[in-house]
Structure 1
């Protein structure tokens, strides 16, 4: 029996990358692999037989004393606790391959050399751009930013890229400088999986060699989603309410177009966006999940993804398609490669209120039969190109090549 060790900061479905981590582990367990997990203790974690090896909780929104903050800063840069617990875990579970998801700050990349020294090939899925950009998103208060390219990581401090704060940005700047000098990512990873071609290209632009990168797209199990092709009378956004998601642009475009929009999700901009949308046809639905969410998707005319950062390969596009809905997406990051213009959706320039308003007006006027036809094309696309079977087979092939080479 082959053994897979999965590492991620959170062991519950906090965000998209955490869902991928848990679904990936479950997939390989279902294939007959023996699996183990390493993560961080958290009150919302689901049960794991490996929780004795999880590291102590670090939550940046919590209140800590001075000594705790000093200790936390050290762990963010390089966690000796994570190394110690990983070594103990590997005594019980000699993994054949390790798959790393989002480990930054909590587990820290200090775990990578431990795995490499054991001869365990390490795969990292690039859910974001952290292995290139210190601030994950190549985004700051001024918009898209690539100033740290070429190792100029001091720009993360100069621009205060992390939450606009000097202290946090300085800590991340030190972290990035240390990791770069030590080569903790470059020297210890066997392969980086990019879920979008855009991320593959961007990582190569930032110096990652092509032979270290593999394109394996995310998947959606279309069979668990019931499709509804009839065109609804509202547009839908579902996701996090944060500045990089472009929801403010959507609100302003909806007002110009006189369009009805439902917004599903929560986040740091929620109150601010609700205030801006007061008196408009934009309705905030709060957090929804499961059947409640999918009913809202199926009832929509189209799903809107107005992102203003280098989005990777958003699951919301695939989920909308699986529900039989076309997507209006911003022309940024990996979004354009997922939308076949005028067949499964439409594209507009990211951040362009007028451009998005024009698309909302056009789709609002489109005949229902035309939208149903596009919804069917969208459903066919995920059933053909973004399947669970494809993801499984390509991951198995990757693991097989790495384990074979290690032996």
Structure 2
């Protein structure tokens, strides 16, 4: 088999942006680097560059920051066309990758995909879909705009125009045609969940051009369960991720507020998350009010680094994913499984696909704090089945196995 030169493109570098897609892309890059393959990681950044250059390096000359931006979030078009047809094109000609693997196009522009096909017509072009941006103009969430956060089951130009009255159905029809014209240039799409594949299949991507590969995890020895004090139960819960309306942190806090007072004295919630200050004033006030009401029952820790996840997981008994949108494959699910921690998750999207109810964790009704309360009661009540559930947790795909599966796609 031909040994490839691989260019992995991400919308952010984990040193600057902590999202799961950024981490998944970077982990794949580091694994190929560990295997001695010729690999470059190109990550977009919003930080200003030195001297106005489009590129700079970070950590090594194999990790390149792309100082660019988008000007059109409706059509995902670059805000600096010169970065596409001059700087990015020059990078492609200089490095001559045989594989270009996009883990996102947001903040950079869909034009980069077309530029790869124009400049390197023989390169293998792969795109990992981490959400539904191409389908849904509401931040790719497939959630109706408004306070109700109503889930959307299928898009159409007419329905989308109802969500965005300032746009016509014709606007959405042309948007879909434009995005599909770019996607037609792609050789293969990767999705970390079957759920997302089904959504894109209905939208129009041929099933034979899509494959499910879970996000790989580093190989570790599963840590022991958290040591318990005499008479203590498995009542330590944790949330990991961004604090925004889509992640359901308000649902989580309201569920803990509903717990009986005697149980509140026996449990604790640790929230490991950032970006609360970047949300609307109304949402911030809601979260801060709930935190104040709950007092010592909840600890807000702020952001964390990727290398800290093991230590933080070891301090928890259960990990809760209360997202109110169709999560594709939250990285925290695989991280929790890798560390032997059962999960409690919303019963929609990739969450219900990854978490087996009453086997590797519990489901609760999406958006319902009362249903989540019941799951918490089941998790730490009398006769808790924590040991049985922990023993049923599947070992996730390792990063080396994940890299091998991608290599099969690269070879076509």
TM tier relative to shorter chain: 0.7 to 0.9
What TM-score results when the alignment is normalised by the length of structure 1? 0.82
Q: Structure 1 pair 212/152, CA: closer, same or farther in 2 (3 Å)? A: farther
Higher-strand-fraction structure: 2
Q: Structure 1 pair 125/285, CA: closer, same or farther in 2 (3 Å)? A: same
| Partners of 2:222 and 2:104 in 1: CA distance | 27
What TM-score results when the alignment is normalised by the length of structure 2? 0.81
Answer whether contact 1:237 1:264 (CA < 8 A) is retained. Answer: yes
Unaligned runs of 5+ in 1: 60-68, 402-407
Q: 1:272: which partner in 2?
A: 286
The number of aligned residues is: 375
Q: Structure 1 pair 344/145, CA: closer, same or farther in 2 (3 Å)? A: closer
Q: 2:155: which partner in 1?
A: 149
1:387 aligns with 2:393: no
SS at match of 2:293: coil
1:375 aligns with 2:390: yes
SS at match of 1:248: helix
Q: 2:109: which partner in 1?
A: 108
| Partners of 1:83 and 1:192 in 2: CA distance | 24
Q: 2:258: which partner in 1?
A: 256
| Partners of 2:110 and 2:60 in 1: CA distance | 22
Q: 2:132: which partner in 1?
A: 129
CA drift of 1:388 comes to: 2.4
Taking the TM superposition and a 5 Å limit, the aligned residue runs for 1:63-212 are 75-76=77-78, 79-104=81-106, 106-117=107-118, 118-119=120-121, 120-135=123-138, 136-139=140-143, 140-141=145-146, 142-146=148-152, 149-152=155-158, 155=161, 159-160=163-164, 177-178=174-175, 180-181=177-178, 183-212=180-209
| Partners of 1:216 and 1:310 in 2: CA distance | 18
| Partners of 1:153 and 1:100 in 2: CA distance | 29
Deviations 1:76-125 (A, max 9, x none): 47834223222101221111111001222x32010112212322121111
The counterpart of 2:33, out of the listed 3, 20, 29, is 29
Answer whether contact 1:236 1:263 (CA < 8 A) is retained. Answer: yes
1:359 aligns with 2:375: yes
Unaligned runs of 5+ in 2: 49-56, 228-232
Q: 1:397: which partner in 2?
A: 408
Answer whether contact 1:40 1:56 (CA < 8 A) is retained. Answer: yes
| Partners of 1:89 and 1:244 in 2: CA distance | 37
Answer whether contact 1:304 1:328 (CA < 8 A) is retained. Answer: yes
| Partners of 1:214 and 1:159 in 2: CA distance | 31
Deviates more, 1:240-249 or 1:251-260: 251-260
SS at match of 1:40: strand
Q: 2:61: which partner in 1?
A: 49
CA drift of 1:288 comes to: 3.0
Q: Structure 1 pair 287/198, CA: closer, same or farther in 2 (3 Å)? A: same
CA drift of 1:262 comes to: 1.9
SS at match of 1:283: strand
1:223 aligns with 2:220: yes
Q: Structure 1 pair 394/144, CA: closer, same or farther in 2 (3 Å)? A: farther
Answer whether contact 1:331 1:350 (CA < 8 A) is retained. Answer: yes
